[in-house]
């Protein structure tokens, strides 16, 4: 039972994490395209069956959430995709200068990189609790058996020094010369 819960929760968090990364990536393309005057026709997260869709904004951009959140795309106005009205030619992706097209293409990975910086900064500022020091298997005849350790024991302190994590256990053992 625990194994199945573990697999399901791991799969859920994998899909959730991937969905967040994809959303930020696609938002990078979308945001830069809009800032540079390119008309965005569709912003989609996921592929497969459409679960939710809404058109809004000045350009009537379609926002889509699809069933499988393991991909996405930003569809921009482009003459290579079909005819474009004369009045909107200046807003077509393929009519943009190379610098604008390069910025739009690079924006997705850049947004992912910026997200990584923000997340690492948050982890650094908030901190991450280390693994609690629980005893695993105690081999018969080992020094751990002689000391009275049993499988599942938590190491709370060593020589009066608190050990809230495995790294503190290691540092305390080194410090005490054990």
Same-domain pairing of 118 and 138: no
Active-site residue, selected from the candidate residues 26, 62, 81, 86: 26
pTM of the predicted protein model = 0.74
pLDDT at 23 exceeding the cut of 70: yes
Do 46 and 72 contact (CB within 8 A), yes or no?
A: yes
Alpha-carbon distance of 136 to 164, in angstroms, equals: 16
Please name the residue ranges forming H helices in 71-160. Answer: 98-126, 143-146
Same-domain pairing of 82 and 135: no
Domain count, the chain: 2
Q: Supply the DSSP string of 69-108, one letter for each residue.
A: EEEEEEEE--GGGS---GGGGGG-GGGS-HHHHHHHHHHH
The reply to whether 26 belongs to the active site is: yes
Alpha-carbon distance of 149 to 131, in angstroms, equals: 19
Do 132 and 153 contact (CB within 8 A), yes or no?
A: no
Same-domain pairing of 116 and 85: yes
pLDDT at 1 exceeding the cut of 70: no
Do 130 and 36 contact (CB within 8 A), yes or no?
A: no
Last residue of a domain, one of 86, 103, 126: 126
Same-domain pairing of 174 and 142: yes
pLDDT of amino acid 136: 87
Alpha-carbon distance of 9 to 5, in angstroms, equals: 6
Same-domain pairing of 48 and 89: yes
Same-domain pairing of 96 and 50: yes
Q: What is the mean pLDDT of the chain?
A: 93
pLDDT of amino acid 94: 97
Range of the domain at 42: 2-126
Same-domain pairing of 79 and 152: no
Alpha-carbon distance of 74 to 29, in angstroms, equals: 7
Alpha-carbon distance of 55 to 7, in angstroms, equals: 37
């Amino acid at each position: 039972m625990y194994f199945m819960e573990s697999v399901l929760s791991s799969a859920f968090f994998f899909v959730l994490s991937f969905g967040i990364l994809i959303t930020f990536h696609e938002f990078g393309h979308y945001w830069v395209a809009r800032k540079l005057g390119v008309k965005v026709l569709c912003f989609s997260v996921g592929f497969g069956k459409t679960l939710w869709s809404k058109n809004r904004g000045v350009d009537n951009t379609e926002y889509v959430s699809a069933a499988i959140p393991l991909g996405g795309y930003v569809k921009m106005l482009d003459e290579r995709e079909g005819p474009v009205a004369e009045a909107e030619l200046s807003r077509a992706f393929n009519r943009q200068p190379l610098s604008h097209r390069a910025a739009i293409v690079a924006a997705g990975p850049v947004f992912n990189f910026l997200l990584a910086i923000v997340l690492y900064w948050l982890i650094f500022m908030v901190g991450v609790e280390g693994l609690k020091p629980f005893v695993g298997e105690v081999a018969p005849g080992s020094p751990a058996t002689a000391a009275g350790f049993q499988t599942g024991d938590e190491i709370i302190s060593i020589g009066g020094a608190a050990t809230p994590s495995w790294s503190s256990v290691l540092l305390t053992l080194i410090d005490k010369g054990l």
